[in-house]
Every structure is written in C-alpha cells, then in structure tokens.
Amino acid sequence: MVSPVHAIGHMAGWYFVPDFVTRQILRFSHRYMRNPPKPGTPAFSKHYRVAYATVVIGFLAYNLIDAHRAMPTNFYDTLDVHLDFTEEELNKANRAFARKNHPDRGGAEEVFIQGRLAYNTLKDPITRFAYDRCVTRHEGTLSRRPHTVDSGRRLPHGRIVKPNESS
C-alpha cells in the first residue's frame, strides 16, 4: 500500500521535476555553447523540447524501475525453485531459505514468514494448483494475469455467463 505522502511526492515530482531539470540542463549546456540560442527563438524551443523529452523519459524509466522493485516476488522466486520442481528440491530450497533468512540468524521476520507461506503453498498440490491459477506461465516466468473467465461476461448480480449460454 502506497502512503498518501508517497503518492503526493510522485505527483509533485511529475509536475515540478521535468521543467526544473530541463531548465537546469539548458542553462548548463548553453553556458558552454559558442552561440547559444536566445529564449523565444525556434532553436531555443527545439533545445527545450529535446531536453524536456529526455528528462521525462528518464524520470519515467526511474519510476518504472522503482515500481518494479516494489512488486512482491512470486513464491517460486522466493524459494528459488523452478516451475517443475520435485519435492526433494522444494525441501532443500526451503532449508536453504530458512538458514539464510531465519530471524534467529539475523533475517527479517516478515521475509521468513513470506518464505514459510511460499513453502506451505507450494508443498500442497491443491493450494499450489490454486496459486498457479492466479499467475500466468509465460516462457518459464510467472506474472499476474487479469481476472477473466473464459471470455465470459459478468451479469449485474455477479453470475458469469459464457458466450454459448443464454442469459
């Protein structure tokens, strides 16, 4: 959950940072040019647009990387096992995870609890199947998928009607 202060900081960043950084870049770069364009000329406008676009793309990349790092890992990555693991591999990975992240050995308690949840989910075939239904297998990786069911449409009272059924 993102705090309101964090969200306001991101909005303020998108509002103020690109223009401020663009002006600083132009001021710095024009200081070392032989004949810098004067403000209000087409050349200055072109310099501003290029610098602004570069700053926005860089700021967007920063925000995307920040959001990617904030996403929780899936259970397979938490225990560092492949999608087609054996029970022996799962137990071995769980022991290695526990040795590394146990709170008595200096690990964070919430990380250890996440690992324990991952192990308990993946060791039981029924809960593993339910977990796997919530993620998409795409070329050996796992990612969240939207909650849709067989291209069905949801009626106002919540019942899902498949295309070949009548409502």
Q: With bands split at pLDDT 50, 70 and 90, how would you rate the model's confidence at 21?
A: very high
How confident is the model over 67-105, as pLDDT tens digits? 888 877 788 888 989 888 999 999 999 999 999 999 998
Note the pLDDT of residue 107. 85
Cα–Cα dist 80/88, whole Å:
13
Q: Express as a percent the part of the chain with pLDDT over 90.
A: 44
What is the Cα–Cα distance from 117 to 102, expressed in whole angstroms?
14
pLDDT of residue 148: 38
Distance set, CA 116 to CA 35, 101, 155 (Å) = 65, 10, 39
The residues, any chain, with a CB within 8 Å of residue 61's CB and separated by 6 or more, are none
pLDDT value, residue 139: 38
**CB-CB contact of 79 with 97 (8 Å):** yes
The tens digit of pLDDT for each residue in 43-57 reads 999 999 999 999 999
Q: Which domains does the chain have, with CATH numbers?
A: 4-70 (no CATH), 75-144 (1.10.287.110)
Asked whether residue 147 carries a pLDDT value surpassing 50, the answer given is no
Q: What are the tens digits of pLDDT across the range 97-129?
A: 999 999 998 888 989 999 999 999 999 999 888
Q: What is the dihedral of CA 73, 77, 116, 107, to 10 degrees?
A: -80
